[in-house]
Chains A and B, each alone.
Chain A
């Protein structure tokens, strides 16, 4: 079994620095990364909605969290700026000090969620020495995050698709950014395995995986996501390891 080649860090696709530094501070003085970016710290795991007990001081963070709550409640199309400012408990004027439109606020929220997701997937992937186990850990981390945060899952995988071309472009890029994790599986494989892979194999694997996930979220069956892990692992590893070995890794716990 070939060992992993750390392609992701090299290609710079991993999120560097913290989400809060990306969003909030000037790039010359990045804030040290907390365990959890403040926007999301207000949205702790659980299916009990998006509680208020974490009161962020930063208005922009509050607006982003407010948008996530409002979209969970009304869908993207049905969300108004009044909904957002009510959830964020800030004035309409404050909203316009930070964002020129609902779309712009959504883009900021989307980026926050995706940076966090990318970071978790990357960290999980990096913690494993062998590539097949790293893939499994990355997929597991993704499913865990989306299950724990059903509202954010919906925002990033369903509402994103109706939030206009700017977000769709980001959505496409986010999905494509998973490709190198799988491309790393080509490393050290015998020729007969490589001959079976095409230039679009990884794209197809990623697309298949994401469509499985987003269909569950779309149907409000987020709680089923974690049970998809063995199937997704087997599906994505089979082209590289063959179906018997892929099934074995998929069933390891």
Chain B
């Protein structure tokens, strides 16, 4: 592709980066919503959504690295978009409050903190180029995410439900 073609499409390297990031993150989030949306119970939706997210990062490690690691040094707009994309998970996780006996008393910033934690773990793996190890993190991330809502025991049961059949057939509670 010629330099001219680049400038016909983008004004700058930053603009091109933002377009890439936006495209990649929205594609991934679509996959997450699709995976989570087909299930009835909330804990299974969280598990399926996270599984789709981890799989898509592992499937495109270079793109994932661009969007989640390089993005942090690609200027304020890219950082902002990265931060905002995390917020997409907030509404999914927040539904867990309805299932939780202590729902109303849970900290206001809980979902933001959980998502920040999950993203940080993934960022760490991508930063050291260990994207292939990401899908195996599913049980511990599911457990980390569900524990505040369901308590450690119920969270562990869902997290460790066998991938062979458990993920989509185990009853939620």
Cβ contacts under 8 Å, A200 to chain B: 121, 137, 140-141, 144
Instruction: Count chain B CB atoms within 10 A of each CB in A205, A207, A232, A250 and give the residue with the most.
Output: A207
CB-CB contacts of A191-221 with B at 8 A, as 1s and 0s? 0110110111101111111111001001000
- A228 engages B144 (CB within 8 Å): no
Q: Which of A172, A192, A206 contacts B152 (CB 8 A)?
A: A192
Q: Which of A195, A199, A206 contacts B120 (CB 8 A)?
A: A206
Stretch from A62-70, A125-133, A160-168 at the B interface: A160-168
Q: Given A161-B73, A239-B147, verify A212-B113 contact (CB < 8 Å).
A: yes
Stretch from B2-10, B52-60, B103-111, B161-169 at the A interface: B103-111
CB B160 to nearest CB in A, in angstroms, measures 11
- A196 engages B147 (CB within 8 Å): yes
- B75 engages A211 (CB within 8 Å): no
24 A-B pairs with CB atoms under 8 Å apart are A162-B75, A168-B73, A192-B152, A196-B156, A198-B139, A200-B121, A200-B140, A200-B144, A204-B118, A204-B120, A207-B116, A207-B119, A208-B116, A208-B120, A211-B112, A211-B116, A211-B117, A228-B109, A231-B110, A235-B109, A242-B152, A243-B102, A243-B148, A244-B102
Q: Which of A172, A203, A218 contacts B83 (CB 8 A)?
A: A218
Q: Which of B107, B113, B118, B140 contacts A199 (CB 8 A)?
A: B140
CB A12 to nearest CB in B, in angstroms, measures 22
Question: Beyond A211-B115, A218-B80, A238-B148: 15 further Cβ-contacts under 8 Å?
Answer: A162-B72, A164-B73, A196-B143, A196-B156, A203-B121, A207-B116, A207-B120, A207-B121, A208-B114, A208-B120, A209-B113, A215-B83, A232-B109, A243-B148, A247-B105
- A198 engages B79 (CB within 8 Å): no
Q: Given A218-B79, A231-B108, verify A161-B120 contact (CB < 8 Å).
A: no
CB A204 to nearest CB in B, in angstroms, measures 3
Considering the complex of A and B, which 9 residue pairs feature the smallest CB-CB distances, nearest first? A207-B120, A211-B116, A208-B117, A204-B117, A198-B140, A196-B152, A208-B113, A231-B107, A208-B116
B residues near A (Cβ < 8 Å) are: 72-76, 79-80, 83, 86, 102, 105-110, 112-121, 123-124, 127, 137, 139-141, 143-144, 147-148, 151-153, 155-156
- B112 engages A212 (CB within 8 Å): yes
Cβ contacts under 8 Å, A168 to chain B: 72-73
* Bound CA span A205–B144, Å: 9
* Bound CA span A207–B140, Å: 15
Question: Which chain A residue has the least Cβ–Cβ distance from B148?
Answer: A238
